[in-house]
Each structure stands twice: as structure tokens, then as C-alpha cells.
Amino acid sequence: LMLNGYRLRPSGTRRNPLEYRDDWNAWIRDILGVRLDRKQRGIVDSVQFNRRTSVRSGHARGKDFTAACISLAFLYLHRPAKVINTAPTGRQVTAIMMSEISRLHAQSRIPLGGEILSEQIKTGQDDWFLIGFKAGDKKPEAWTGYHSPNILVVVTEASGIPKETFDAIDGVLTGSLSRLLIVFNPNRTSGEAYQSTRSPLYSKHKLSCLRAPNVRARKILIPGQVDYEWVAEKLEKPGWVTKIEQDEADPIDFHDFRFEGQWYRPGDLFLVKVMGEFPRESEDQLFPLSWIEAANQRWEDTQPESVDGPLLLGVDIAGMGRDATIFSPRIGDYIGKLMAFSKADHMVSAGRIKNILKPKDTGFIDTIGEGAGVHSRLIEQGVNSISAKFSESAEGVRDATGEREFLNSRAACYWLLRDALDPRLGGKLALPPDDELTQELTEIHWTVQSNGKIKIEPKEDIKKRIGRSPDKADAVALTFYPFRRQTRFGSASGIMR
């Protein structure tokens, strides 16, 4: 008995390879030599016996590794067969899915056969292959060419896939053995991925870091998976969780949980990145987490050397009780990595800014408090420095729709930042992945005053919730400051457009 031309006779394998078609987990264990945990094995069984499977997951919980194991099992246990791996970006296809598949294929306990390429496994037969591609590279009608009696479609980072793509995928799931597996971090409360957790069409699974084998055992049982130290670190980070008493706990509505004898109430970042749960986004939340995650992905996909234009530098100067001054560099729709400098003499900060800014660049210095001296020194040196005061009027400034007005410049800056991230407005802004920045942005709430103007909640309220001032968010928002004041030419130049 043969499988793809090779005898199945390594130690520990079953004698009849056809038996593996009834137990994919056994094939993954015996042939790939992989040890999956109980939750991962449950996902394998789900794909084997259910038409649609949905998996939401916390960080480093092995969702893509499990999907790669399933992809190979399906391909080599069925013939003919077509396995399609897709994702929102090409990097996710090649660097995540195909990388995992290639490694598993190479380390298999027996040679599996086929030629491994960067985005496919070729078997030499047109009706038997595995292929990976960016979802946006295929128009919906192009999916019709992938019909097969045995077909598996794996969608990773499924939260970022549009409905039109899922409609096209649905059109190819017509074979006698048709399977759809979608895996994702639950950062968006809309779309097919979100709906899959509520739809009766899907078998639903969750991979929580709190239940990971390495975390529960407090030692490494499965290399590469999330470990106890990572979770413990997140429990200590301000704003990620709140300690509560047992009589306050509400595991249903708030996802409160007990860890090592202490009850906690998770914030949105902890819900998504640790527990594999959707964020509790509210209508008054200024920046939904899904927008930030999408902007982080755009940042990962952008080549910094391709970004060109004048630099806008937002600077939040360290004040009383603060340890760092934050620089936020922006060129067009690209925010560079934020820079944090230990609290230093104001003239040192002015020197750093002067060395960064070229003649066509602009610095926006928070001059309420400590930054006033820095700005004055920059003006003396002929640097194009703008005195940015969040408290001043935003008269004449409107949002992207031309309808909304703002209580002050702080509200205007943050709302213009929001417009640059809003997918409904074609948001293109790329934000560097930064947990502190993400937390600060997603904690900001807004209201509409009786006069119709937008108001952003006080910084003190945010600080109480997260245990620090939202300085990184302020630095980024400063790059959207809508006025030019006190330039090196010594005159005001009005509203920036």
C-alpha cells in the first residue's frame, strides 16, 4: 500500500494508509511527526467532519500552524485535491502560511513528494495541488476555476477579507468533500469572520492563551507557543486588565476570569491578544481596535524607502512626573517608528529636533508647559517649528465630510487622525505596531456637545484608566495639527489643508 508513491512504514505508523483518511490527527502525528494540543486536535477533527470551521485565537496560540497541518493532511490524503491558502496580504501568505507548510513538508517523517515553491506545492498533475495567493490578487470570477471533488480553502487573518471574496469562495465549495477553514484574531466586530462566530453554518473554536499548555504548566511543553511569562507580563501592564473581587465577577458579559486565585476584568487589548475574544467596542470609542490593526498591517506592508515628502514631526515634551519625550515622524500617510527619549534638558531636545528636521520639514511642538522653551529655541535657530496648543480654538476646522466642528484643537487633531484611519473614508494611514500606542488610542472616547461640536474626553480620565498619560497618542495626533503658527518666517499661515 502506497501514499503518493511512498510506502508508509516508519515506526509508529498504521499499516493501511487508507485508514488515515478517517483520522487526520493520526496522519499529522505519524507522518508529519507533529504534536498538537487538545484544542488544536479538535480543530483538525472539525475540518475533517464539518463543511465550515471558524477559529478565533489569541497571540502565538498556533492557529496558522494547525491550519498548515490540515492543509498538508487534506492534500496527501485525497486525490485529486485542491488546497487553497489565502490571506489579505501577500506577506501573510508567503511568510506565514507557505512558510509553515514548507517547513512541515521538509520535516515530514517520510518524503511526501511534490515540488515546494514559494507559493505552491506542485505534484505534476493539474487536478492535484496546493496553492497560496493574496485574496486581492484574484477577482471573484477567477475563483470559479478551482472547482474540485475534494477542495479545501484556508483563509488566514480572515477578519481582513471582504465579503465579495467569501461569496466567491462559497461558489467553489460544491465538491463531494468541500471544506472551508477560517482563522483570525478577533479584532473586528463586523464581516464574515465576526459573523462566523454566530452563524449555525460554522463549527466554532477558540484558542485562548490562558488555556495554552505552556501557560497552564508554567513551562515549555510545546516550543513556539505562547508561554506563561508572556501572559503574566500582560497581567501587569497598566490598562490591560483590572483586578476585581470575586463578587464583582461577570464571566458572561465582561469575560471576567480567574488566574492563580485572582479575578480580573480584561480590557480590549487583553480580550483580543490573550483571550481570543472580540473587543467591547462602543459607539463613543474614537478609534476602534480593528482600525488600528488594519493600520498596523499597512505599516508592515509599506517599504519605508518608498515613502517620500516633507516630514511632519509631532513632539510631546516630557514634563513633571514623566520619563520620556516622544517624537512621532509622519510623511504623508506613513507614521514612522515612535522615538522615546529619556527626560533631558530642553536644549538637548531642541538639538535633537533641529538635527531631524530639514528645511521643508515641520515640527509640531506641544507648547502647553515644558515644550514652550523648546519651541522658542527652535525658532531662534530658524527651524520651522509650530507652537501646537491643544487648548486653543479650532474655529474654521472641519472633518473630512465638511460637517463636523470641534471644541478645541485637541479634538480637531484627534478627529483628523480618526479620518485618516476610517475605512469608510478610504483610510490609508499606516501606524507602527506599538502596544502602548494601540492601548492609548483605543481608550479615547468622544461626545457631541449641545452646540454640535466634537469633544474628546479629558486626558486625566484616560490616565486614570491606563495608569499613564497618553503621550504617544498625543505625539501622533500633533502631526495632524490644523494650524501653522509662529513659523521660522515669523508669521501665521492659517489652516493647513
475 pLDDT above the threshold of 90: yes
With pLDDT > 90 as the criterion, what percentage of the chain qualifies? 69
pLDDT value at position 491? 35
Mean pLDDT, rounded, of the chain = 89
173 pLDDT above the threshold of 90: yes
Task: Give the Cα separation of 183 and 66 in Å (integer).
Answer: 10
Identify the band that residue 283 occupies on the pLDDT scale cut at 50, 70 and 90.
confident
pLDDT value at position 14? 53
Q: Cα separations (Å) of 104 from 149, 214, 330, 358?
A: 25, 21, 41, 50
pLDDT value at position 488? 40
The residue assigned the cell 507548510 is: 101
pTM above 0.75, yes or no: no
Digit-coded pLDDT (tens) for 376-388: 999 999 999 999 9
Identify the band that residue 259 occupies on the pLDDT scale cut at 50, 70 and 90.
very high
Digit-coded pLDDT (tens) for 80-101: 999 999 999 888 999 999 999 9
Digit-coded pLDDT (tens) for 30-88: 999 999 999 999 999 999 999 999 999 999 999 999 999 999 999 999 999 999 999 99
With pLDDT > 70 as the criterion, what percentage of the chain qualifies? 93
